Structure 1
Amino acid sequence: MKIQDLHSAFLANPSISTDTRKIKANDIFFALKGDNFNGNTYAQKALDSGASIVIIDEEEYLIDDRTILVEDVLTTLQQLANFHRKQSKAQVICLTGSNGKTTTKELINAVLSTTYKTIATKGNLNNHIGVPLTLLTIEPDTEIAIIEMGANHIKEIEFLCKIAEPDYGYITNFGKAHLEGFGGVEGVIKGKSELYEYLTSHNKNIFLNADDPIQKTKLSTYTKKLGFSSTDSKYYTIKLAEAQPFVHLLVEDIRMETNLIGAYNFSNCCGAIIIAKYFNVELNDTKKALEKYTPDNNRSQILNNRGHYIVLDAYNANPSSMSVALENFHSLNKQRKVIILGDMFELGESAKEEHQNISDLATGLNFEELILVGENFYLTDSIAIKLKNFEELKSHLTKNPLHPKSSILIKGSRGMALERVLDLI
């Protein structure tokens, strides 16, 4: 089947599924493969569950004319998404970066949706599967699509750009994330900059954090850019008023008081503000949208649990985000500060050094209690309480309850699932 024919079938029933447990009537099921599963084997189940068409790439699973055999299911999904994107009149904004992608994406969607019909990446479906699935949610009346792009190796952003073909792009920052796949910080910069390379080579528009010297230098001669800065008057001026604990900004003498904690969220807000400005969103609408947004899903959430003041930031972690989280928490006007940190993943050969650096930083900030959890933190040279895994943490907190009314920062990589600590304190 040609992509245009498959697209016609998709337009008749514009709903895609890759999981037979979630199929709705008339879905098109893509039988994707993974390390531990083969979607082809679920072809019959998909049809029985209500799928109208099943896309497979192994001939033995052909059932009837409702099963369509292609060379590769994933490639077909990506081609369909690109074809759909080309047919759409929606403008596509893509963003990537080491930290803050998902929060920034949510903020951009919040401000633009005050004025436009938008769609945006759900959660963090930002890879070679998630980006196509997001593009396929573009509807006929969609005006702007906000697409988050994640990457853990060189050429991944370049590949995603070929699928999404962005009209605009924004990079939140360059940090120490996925060092194992990128081969170091220089690899991170090179990999994330593939978005800028696509945009500049296609004469597209770029949104720029001019307070970031790397971004500013890379785009010094490119003219199709709109930037923000807190220090350089050549760019749109946005000032950080305070972050105690919530970020308050000053924009054209208007104060915006957000529900986001930490100075590290300042640039995330600025990215949304500059994009809203470009698309002529009224500043008061931007203010209302930013002030209404409340983070969830374990991202910089403020919680009160049994009298404790908790900053739950357990969705992900890398050396860059860990450092700013520690420094921000140290700056808060709170008493009895307790830190619970979990291992940072995907650091490769840098793991030992980076965990030691974070341990040293946390120790030097003189928190009342410092607990390090995970195999990498356990091997650090530290005076902190070091525990090999979550079970040891559970045992420790059971025997040694935290001081009443403590202020607690909980941060670690997703695989550590440190939000489970909430049940222990």
Structure 2
Amino acid sequence: MKIQDLHSAFLTHQSVSTDTRKIKENDIFFALKGDNFNGNIYAQKALDSGASIAIIDEEKYFIDDRTILVEDVLTTLQQLANYHRKYSKAQVISLTGSNGKTTTKELINAVLCKTYKTIATKGNLNNHIGVPLTLLTIQPDTEIAIVEMGANHLKEIEFLCKIAEPDFGYITNFGKAHLEGFGGVEGVIKGKSELYEYLIKNNKSIFLNADDPIQLDKLKNYTKKYGFSSVNSKYYNIEMTEAQPFVNIQVENTNIKTNLIGSYNFHNCCAAITIAKYFNVELSEIKTALENYTPDNNRSQIINTKGLYVILDAYNANPSSMKVAIENFNSLNNLHKTMILGDMFELGESAEEEHQNIVELTKNMNFDQVFFVGENFYKTQTDAIKLRNFDELKVFIKNNTIKANSAILIKGSRGMALERVLDCL
């Protein structure tokens, strides 16, 4: 079947699925494969559950004319998404970066949806499967699609750009994330900059954090850029007036009081404001959107529980995001402060050094207690409390009382799932 014919069928159904547990009536089911699963096996189940079509790539699972045999299911999904993206009238904003992608994406969507019909990446579905699935949620009346792009190796962002064909792009930052896959910080910069390369090659527009010297240098000769800065008068001026604990912003004589903790969220807000201004969203609407936005999904969430003030930032962690989270937490005044820090993953040969760097960072800071959790932190040299895994942490907390009225920072990589600590406090 040609992609345009499949797209015609898609327009009739307007919904795809890759999981038989979430099939809706008339979905098109894509039988994806992974290292430990083969979606072809579930084609019959998908049809029985209400799917109208099942896309397969193994002939032995062909059932009837409701099954479509293709050479490769994943490639077909990506081709369909690209075809739909070009078919739609929506403008596409893509963003990537080492830290803050998902929060920034949600903030951009929050401000733009005040004026436009928007869709945005759900959660962090930002890879070679998630980007196509996001593009396929573009509706006939969608005006702007905000597409998050993640990567852990070179050429991945380049590939995602070929699928999404963005009209605009923004890079949050370049940090120490996925060092194992990128081969170091220079590899991270090169990999994330593939978004710049696509946009420049195709004469598209770039949004720029002009406070970031790396971004400023890479785009110094490019004219189709729209930037913000708290210090550089050549760019749209936005200032942070306070971050104790929440980020307050001053822009065009307007004060915006957010529910986002940590100065590291300042530039995320700035990006949303700048992009919204580019699209002519009224500043009053921007202010309302940002002041009403409340973080969730374990990202800088503020939780008050049993007399404890918890900053739950346990969705993910890398050396860059861990450092700024710790420094911000240290800056909070008049509180008993406890940190529960979990291992950072995908650091490769840098793991030992980067975990020790975090330990050294905390040594002269004003914390009542620090818990380091995980095999990597357990190997570090420190007088602080080290625990090999979550089970040991659970036992320790059960047998030891954390001071009442304490503030607690919980941060670690996704695989550590440190949000489970909430049940122990």
Alignment TM-score, normalising by the size of structure 2:
1.00
Report the AA paired with residue 91 of structure 2. Answer: Q
User: 2:182 is matched with which residue?
Assistant: 182
User: 2:97 is matched with which residue?
Assistant: 97
User: 1:386 is matched with which residue?
Assistant: 386
User: 1:251 is matched with which residue?
Assistant: 251
Whether 1:70 aligns to 2:70 is yes
**d(CA) in 1 for partners of 2:75, 2:363:** 48
Helix, strand or coil for the counterpart of 1:34? coil
Whether 1:235 aligns to 2:249 is no
Conserved in 2, the CA contact under 8 Å of 1:363 and 1:370? no
Shift of residue 404 of structure 1?
1.5
Aligned 1:102-117 pairs, distance under 5 A: 102-117=102-117
Report the AA paired with residue 93 of structure 1. Answer: I
**d(CA) in 2 for partners of 1:184, 1:215:** 18
Whether 1:136 aligns to 2:136 is yes
User: 1:214 is matched with which residue?
Assistant: 214
**d(CA) in 1 for partners of 2:168, 2:159:** 16
Helix, strand or coil for the counterpart of 1:248? strand
Could you tell me which runs of 5 or more consecutive residues in structure 2 were left unpaired when the two chains were aligned.
none
Report the AA paired with residue 189 of structure 1. Answer: I
Conserved in 2, the CA contact under 8 Å of 1:56 and 1:70? yes
User: 1:14 is matched with which residue?
Assistant: 14
Conserved in 2, the CA contact under 8 Å of 1:317 and 1:414? yes
**d(CA) in 1 for partners of 2:138, 2:213:** 35
Shift of residue 406 of structure 1?
1.1
Q: How many residue pairs get matched?
A: 425
Helix, strand or coil for the counterpart of 1:364? coil
Shift of residue 399 of structure 1?
1.0
Whether 1:367 aligns to 2:379 is no
Per-residue CA distance 1:366-405 (angstroms, 9 max, x = gap): 3110100000000000111000000000111111121122
Report the AA paired with residue 42 of structure 2. Answer: Y
Report the AA paired with residue 103 of structure 1. Answer: T
Shift of residue 162 of structure 1?
0.1
**d(CA) in 2 for partners of 1:230, 1:80:** 42
Report the AA paired with residue 392 of structure 1. Answer: E
Shift of residue 334 of structure 1?
3.5
Could you say what the CA RMSD is over the residues aligned between the two structures, in angstroms?
Answer: 0.5
**d(CA) in 2 for partners of 1:86, 1:229:** 33
Shift of residue 364 of structure 1?
2.2
Shift of residue 32 of structure 1?
0.2
Whether 1:266 aligns to 2:277 is no
Helix, strand or coil for the counterpart of 1:380? coil
Aligned 1:29-40 pairs, distance under 5 A: 29-40=29-40
Report the AA paired with residue 60 of structure 1. Answer: K
Report the AA paired with residue 61 of structure 2. Answer: Y
User: 1:340 is matched with which residue?
Assistant: 340
Whether 1:193 aligns to 2:193 is yes
Shift of residue 365 of structure 1?
1.2
Could you tell me which runs of 5 or more consecutive residues in structure 1 were left unpaired when the two chains were aligned.
none
Helix, strand or coil for the counterpart of 2:137? coil
**d(CA) in 1 for partners of 2:396, 2:363:** 19
User: 1:202 is matched with which residue?
Assistant: 202
User: 1:282 is matched with which residue?
Assistant: 282
**d(CA) in 2 for partners of 1:47, 1:138:** 24
